[in-house]
Amino acid sequence: MSENDCVFCQIVRGEMDSEVVHDEEEVLAFQDIGGQAPVHVLVIPKQHISSLAEIGDVSDGVAKRLLEVAHEVAKKMDVAESGYAFRINNGPDSGQEVFHLHAHVMGGRKLEMP
């Protein structure tokens, strides 16, 4: 998929609406459109990579910021203490639907392993 067709690249470019939770130079966090928990935010690198298979294509700093922003979002959404899941789907068996790397930050209810 090219970056032109990628829905998350369109969100990064402002061509598609989203409810932004956190925005910085290289990382964006926004509400998942199909929220599966009271808190369900997606954290993405603005650079298009399809999955963790390409994590080596982003800088170490960006990779680290993805993790830090996930926790900052959890704090902002008030689930850092009650707990939250951080999940990255990769490839067919995971159910990955959008092929722009994204981390789900989910909380606000009891979560189970799938």
**Would you name the residues annotated as active-site residues?**
102
Residue 100 site contact among ligand 5GP, Zn ion, none (CB < 5 to 8 Å, cut-off depends on kind): Zn ion
Residue 65, interface with Zn ion (CB under 5 A)? Answer: no
Ramachandran class of 109: left when φ > 0, alpha when ψ lies in -120 to 50, beta otherwise = beta
Closer CB to ligand 5GP, 54 or 61, in the complex: 54
Q: How far is it, in rounded angstroms, from Cα 63 to Cα 45?
A: 8
For position 102 contacting Zn ion by CB under 5 A, the verdict is: no
**Residue closest to 29 by CA, chosen among 48, 8, 3, 10:** 8
Interactions with ligand 5GP, residue window 55-114 (CB under 6 A) = 89, 95-98
CA dist 48 and 57 (Å) reads 9
Residue 14 has a CB neighbour count (10 Å cut-off) of 9
Min separation Cβ 92 and ligand 5GP, Å: 11
Q: What is the contact surface with ligand 5GP in residues (CB under 6 A)?
A: 7, 16, 18, 30-34, 89, 95-98
